[in-house]
Amino acid sequence: MASARRPTYTSPGRTQRGSSGSGSGSGGLPGNRAPGQSTQPEVISASKSAPAPDPDPARGKQAKDTGSKGARSNDAPSWASRRKEKKSKDKLPPGAAAGANVLAFPEPRGRRLKRNIIVTVCTVAALIAGILAAAIFSPLLAVGTISVSGTNLLTPDQVQDALEPLKGKPLPQISDEEVDRLLEPLVQIKAVTTQARPPSGLVVNVRERVPVALVKQGEQYQLVDVDGVQLAATADPESVSLPVIDGGAGTIGKDLFQATAAVLGALPAEVLAKLSNASAQSVDAVELKLVDGQTIVWGNASERELKAKVLQALLKVPADPKNPVRVYDVSVPRHPVTR
């Protein structure tokens, strides 16, 4: 800032004396002084004066700072400006240059459609899960009535009594395994199927074991199936159209009994009703007796279905009074013999 020089007088108290009365026209010149006047010359000097104080110090400081900042900005960016610039760069998305304008594009239609499908599927699944949970645990679907069909050796009441624990339980919670477990004490039942009839009905279809013979045990006759399971007992064998196996499984041996029972189980009902008894000397020598006294040589238990068809056809042949048939040999079913 340029400073102004102004003249100062070393002896400001001194006054110039005029040349009046001196007769000289030099006046105040240094060479023409009046007698008695000081001979020390008047010295006029110039000095650098300090700048006048600024009435507003804050404004001066601001101007100073502005000037200094301007000077620094011309040379290199300050630390604060570099830090601010770095932060602004960090906020840019990947791949965007500093100072570039970032445009937000709309979401692709495929992605939006996929998201909507996922949300819809999740919502439907949640609704279905809620409905299933309500159905499984709802007391509105509790078992109230049990209907039984397919019984012959048993009565429907016996089956209903065995299934009494199921009453009051929701239908969706009832399984076939639970029904089988409850009916296990009833040996006459071989298989069972169940069907739910909302809101409170349960239908049970029973498939019983088929008795194939009577086994005499003392004064009683036990009805047995092909597996030797005792299904019922009777004191009158004539009331049941089944052959009698003398001694039963315990007397003739398990193998002989199973072979005989397997043969009886392969016979159709109309042939089985004509049998009087069955016996076996060995597993390969099973014989049957008809109520008319004829003998059936069966042989072993192989090809049971074919032997049963051949025997059924032979029994349908009209009898010849002159040559009555006493023996039907189907041990070789492809070459049967009658005599």
Model pLDDT for residues 283-315, shown as the tens digit of each residue: 888 999 998 899 999 998 889 999 999 999 999
| Model confidence pLDDT, tens digit, residues 74-122 | 445 566 666 666 555 555 555 555 455 656 667 788 888 888 899 899 9
Q: What is the pLDDT confidence band of residue 53, given thresholds at 50, 70 and 90?
A: low
> Parallel, antiparallel, or unpaired for β 145-149 and 189-197?
unpaired
**Residue 23's closest CA among 32, 11, 14?**
32
Q: What sign has the CA pseudo-torsion 22, 24, 28, 31?
A: negative
Q: What is the pLDDT confidence band of residue 26, given thresholds at 50, 70 and 90?
A: very low
> Parallel, antiparallel, or unpaired for β 295-299 and 244-245?
unpaired
d(CA 163, CA 203): 11
**Residue 154's closest CA among 196, 202, 204?**
204
Mean pLDDT of 257-268: 87
| Model confidence pLDDT, tens digit, residues 196-252 | 998 889 999 999 998 888 888 778 888 988 888 889 888 888 888 888 886 544 556
pTM for the full predicted model: 0.55
**Residue 245's closest CA among 211, 270, 280, 273?**
280
Contact assessment for residue 275 and residue 242, using Cβ atoms and an 8 Å cutoff: yes
**Better pLDDT: 123 or 83:** 123
DSSP state of 217: E
Contact assessment for residue 188 and residue 154, using Cβ atoms and an 8 Å cutoff: yes
pLDDT of residue 314: 92
Phi, psi of 313 (to 5 degrees): -70, -40
**Better pLDDT: 29 or 295:** 295
Q: Residue 263 has which token pair?
A: 């043969």
